[in-house]
Every structure is written in structure tokens, then in C-alpha cells.
Amino acid sequence: MLSNDIIQHHNEKLQAEHQFKLTYLTELLDRKGIDIQTIIDKIKAFQVAIPSWALGTGGTRFGRFPNGGEPRNLEEKIEDVGLIHQLNRSSNSISLHIPWDIPSDANAIKQLLKANDLTIDSVNSNTFQDQKDQPYSYKFGSLSHSKSEVRDLAIQHNIQCIEYGKMLDSKVLTVWLADGSNFPGQSHLRGAYQRTNDSLSSIYKSMPDDWTMLIEYKPYEPHFYSMVIPDWGTSYSLCQNIGKNAQVLVDLGHHLPNTNIEQIVGRLMHFGRLGGFHFNGSMYGDDDLTTGSIKPYQFFLIFNELVDGMQDPSVKNPPLAWMIDASHNTKDPIEDLLQSVNAILTTYAKALLVDRVALVDAQENNDVLRAEELLRDTFLTDARALVAEASRQVGGAIDPIAAFRSAKIRESLVEKRGFSVATGL
Ligand code: AOS
Ligand code: ZN
Ligand code: ZN
Ligand code: ZN
């Protein structure tokens, strides 16, 4: 944990410049009839989960180039997320990956979470790797496998994940299925879907009533001819078949180039089936780059759709689980996560600023240019001071990355943990 003095001292140094920017923005928004504190309060309430596997360098099947000080176990991963949350006050939960994060002592983990002001977000199952001494291999699939003994093993693993989640008060199971085929003819495409449907149904039946199952889709990788759950339509149909607590999870990197993701988001919210989000940045595919780093306008348009759905009382979509799913090789992982959360909050803030009454009016009257300009105007508004102020008001840093650097946090983690490399991708 950081001493609060460090953050306060950091904020004092930045306060004058921050206030200057905030005053400008307050006046600007006031002229548009927007109360700045209402927006700031919404930003404060927005929390993004950190995945345990993003705390180390990774995201590559080639070489990893760690800088040291990476968390060596679940306890240290929780400590890292605790640091992130102390700095930005917007990352109050951690997502676990089983078996990488099996809790050895659930009570001790719960206490540590509490001390760090954190909770467990989702529990993620892993049937994309064989574990040591596993009786059957997932080489040719898991929940969709042609042999029932392999499917049963994968089903049991997911049920075990639910058990770990229950111990730590999680309420979400996320299933990302790597199943698919590499060559035409390898797999019976309809059969693989039906077996997956039945396997997911069995897992769902083992889930407590107040849990959610999130089903993630991905068009390719690790398989390159077919994936069993390649797109939102497949996820959606599985959810429809399985039950009301099954929801689609959208990972921003899991689309073919130029897909209109905002429209997918809108559709799923309209159907009440959008359950969760994996934030990252994408140039080509599942690149897992920093959120907002490559296509910020597209990211804004996605958030615009999300906020529109969240604010519309006629939309019956459950609250969403927000998580970052990124991991790469060249930045300090904690700095990268702080940067991603900041991009998420800034974009959320901008989406909150959209004049929805004027937008609907422009749409109704087919004023194409005005509708577009309403969006462009908010996208081009610099909303960073709103996010900084939200953080400051609840004891976080005005500039979390600058605070992380000036407090030499990575240096002290290296000193404590040595040249450690985290488990994960
Ligand atoms: C994989 O591509 C998916 O994005 C998963 O959500 C996630 O990255 C994986 O479960 C991490 O192991
Ligand atoms: Zn993902
Ligand atoms: Zn992915
Ligand atoms: Zn990814």
C-alpha cells in the first residue's frame, strides 16, 4: 500500500494547473446546461476490473521481456491491483483465472482483498491449455469435444471455477472457449455447436441463481479455419438457449477488421443480453493493446451506444461487468493499466456529455450533418480534467501514472520481488 501522503503531495504539485483546466471545462459545460459535478459523480461510480493476467508482461507467443517486480502469486497480484486502485480509485476488483490463481487460503485472500478495498470480479475458466496430469487432452477441443469424457472434464473444470468463485464472493463465470478447427472437414460444425450448447447448459445448472455466465466470442485464434463461438450471434443464441443469466461478453479485439462494434453493442443491449465487456485496443485482431490507443473515435462511438442504452429506461439490459483484457510486452504493466483505465473513463465521460435530446431530434429530422457534429463535438472535447477531478475527490491521484513514476513504485516492487515473472499468457 502507498501512504496517502504520497498521493496528496503529488496532487498539491498539480493542483494549480488542474484547477485551471477544470474551471475552463466547468464554464464550457455550464454554457451547454451540463452540471459538471453530476458527470464527475458518474465517473467516480464507474469501476473497471483488472485481470490478474495483465499484471505481468505478456500477450505474445514469442519472447517475453519482463522488467522485474512482477507479482509471483495471487497475493501479489491483489497487491498490484490495490496499488492501481489507490492511484485511480476506479479499479476496485480483480478477475481471476483458474488454474493460474487458485486461492490456497480463501479466508486469507478475502482479508487481503478487504485490506486493499477490492472485490473479486469474474472467475475465468481455462480449457485452452492442458494442465499437468490431466487425464484427457484439450488438443481437439473441450466443451465441444467429440468425446464425452473430454467434455465432462471441461464441464467439471468450469464447475470447479464456480466453487472457487463462491469461496471468494464472485458472482460471474466467464467462459472463453478456444475450441475450433484448423482444417476443413476436421470438425462437424453443427455438431460442435450442439455439444457446446449442452456442455454450457450443464455448467449453467451448477451455477447459483444470482450468478451470471458470460460467454465470449472470437472469430479466429487459436484456431484458424473455424471457431465454435466465432461471433456475437452464436454467443447470443447460446445464451438464449441456456437461460436468463447467460449473457454475451464483447471483447473489443474479437472482431474482424472494420466490424461495426457499436452496432453489435446496441443490438445486444436492445435484446437485454449484453453482460460484459473486455476493453483493449486493436489494430488487426486480438492485439490486446492499450484501450483507446488505436481507434479512439470508434471507442467513443461504442461508449456512446453503451451510455445511450444505459440511460434509456426502455432498455432492459442488466448492469454490465467492465473489465480490461490486455497484456503486452513493451510497457510497464501497471502503467499500461492505469493508461487504459484513464482512456476508458475519459471516453465514458465524453459519452455522458452527448446531448441526447438534440441527437434524437437531428435523427428524427434526418439532419445528418447535425447528428454527426453533435457526436464529433463531444469527441473533440478534452474531458481529461473531469476524470482527474473524479479521482482527486475520492483520494486518488490527479495524474496516476505520474504519481506511480514519482513514487518509484516499480523500483520498490523490483527490490521486493526481484526479477520475477508473473504467470499468465
Ligand atoms: C482470449 O482471447 C480472450 O480474450 C479471454 O478473455 C482472455 O484473454 C483469456 O481468458 C485470458 O486467458
Ligand atoms: Zn477477452
Ligand atoms: Zn482475446
Ligand atoms: Zn485478447
Ligand closest to 326 (CA) is 4
| Residue closest by Cα to atom 12 of ligand 1 | 425
Find out whether the beta carbon of 216 lies less than 6 Å from any atom of ligand 1.
Answer: yes
Q: Ligand 1: which of 131, 176, 217, 328 to mutate, judged by most atoms within 8 Å of the beta carbon?
A: 176
Which cell numbers hold the place of 100? 493460474
Supply the pLDDT for residue 397: 98
How would residue 57 be classed by pLDDT, with cut points 50, 70 and 90?
Answer: confident
CB atoms near residue 414 (< 10 Å): 16
Among protein residues, the one with the nearest Cα to ligand 1's atom 9 is: 176
Give 322's strand partners: 277
Q: Quick one: pLDDT at residue 375?
A: 98
How far is residue 60's CA from residue 45's CA, in Å, rounded to a whole number? Answer: 33
Of how many residues is the chain composed?
425
CATH class held by domain 4-417: alpha beta
Residue of minimum CA distance from atom 2 in ligand 1: 286
| Alpha helices by DSSP H, 206-332 | 232-242, 261-270, 296-311
Whether pLDDT at 424 is above 70: no
Confirm or reject: Cβ of 332 under 6 Å from ligand 1.
no
Please list, in sequence order, all residues whose beta carbon lies within 8 angstroms of the beta carbon of residue 19, skipping any fewer than 6 positions away: none
306-363 pLDDT, tens digit per residue, is: 999 999 999 999 999 999 999 878 999 999 999 999 999 999 999 999 999 999 999 9
Q: Which residues make beta-bridge pairs with 215?
A: 175, 248
Mean pLDDT of 31-49: 98
Substitution site in 94, 129, 218, 251 for ligand 1 pocket (most atoms within 8 Å of beta carbon): 251
Task: Kindly calculate the radius of gyration of the chain based on its CA atoms and give it in whole angstroms.
Answer: 22
Q: Give the Å distance between the CA of 254 and the centre of ligand 2.
A: 8
pLDDT of 422 above 80: no
pTM value is 0.97
Interface ipTM > 0.90: yes
Q: What average pLDDT does this structure show over 85-105? A: 96
* Exposed/middle/buried for residue 131 (C-beta within 10 Å: 0-12, 13-18, 19+): exposed
Whole-number Å distance, alpha carbon 350 to ligand 2 midpoint, is 24
Instruction: Please tell me the predicted confidence (pLDDT) of residue 184.
Output: 98
Q: Which residues contact 16 (CB under 8 A, 6 or more apart)?
A: none
Please tell me the distance between residue 221's alpha carbon and the centre of ligand 1 in angstroms.
11
Above 60 in pLDDT, residue 58? yes
How far is the centre of ligand 3, averaged over its atoms, from the C-alpha of 370 (Å)?
36
Quick one: pLDDT band at residue 59, thresholds 50, 70, 90?
low
61, pLDDT greater than 80 = no
Q: What is the pLDDT of residues 142-193, one digit of tens each?
A: 999 999 999 999 999 999 999 999 999 999 999 999 999 999 999 999 999 9
Query: Taking 80 as the threshold, does the pLDDT of residue 399 lie above it?
Result: yes
Helix (H) or strand (E) holding 23: helix 4-31
The β-bridge relationship of strands 274-279 and 321-324 is parallel
Q: How far apart are CA 345 and CA 355, in angstroms?
A: 18
Q: Ligand 1 within 6 A of 29 CB?
A: no
325 C-beta closer than 6 A to ligand 1: yes
C-alpha 211/C-alpha 377 separation (Å) is: 40
281 DSSP assignment: B
Residues 188-247 pLDDT 10s: 999 999 999 999 999 999 999 999 999 999 999 999 999 999 999 999 999 999 999 999
How much is the pLDDT for 425?
56
Phi, psi (rounded to 5 degrees) for 74: -60, -40
Rounded CA separation 241/189 (Å): 18
DSSP 8-state assignment for residue 53: G
- One-letter amino acid for residue 363 of the chain: Q
Q: Does residue 64 surpass a pLDDT of 90?
A: no
53 C-beta closer than 6 A to ligand 1: yes
Q: What residues does each domain of the chain span?
A: 4-417
Question: Can you tell me which atom of ligand 1 is nearest the CA of 253?
Answer: 4
Region 79-88: what's the mean pLDDT? Answer: 98
Q: For the residues 369-374, what does the mean pLDDT come to?
A: 98
Cα-to-centroid distance, 126 and ligand 1 (Å): 9
| CB within 8 Å of 331: residues ≥ 6 apart | 290, 339
Ligand 1 within 6 A of CB of 288? no
- Average the pLDDT over 394-415 and give the result: 97
pLDDT at 367: 98
Q: Which residues contact 329 (CB under 8 A, 6 or more apart)?
A: 57, 58, 59, 60, 63, 64, 65
Mind listing the pLDDT tens digit for each residue in 248-278?
A: 999 999 999 999 999 999 999 999 999 999 9
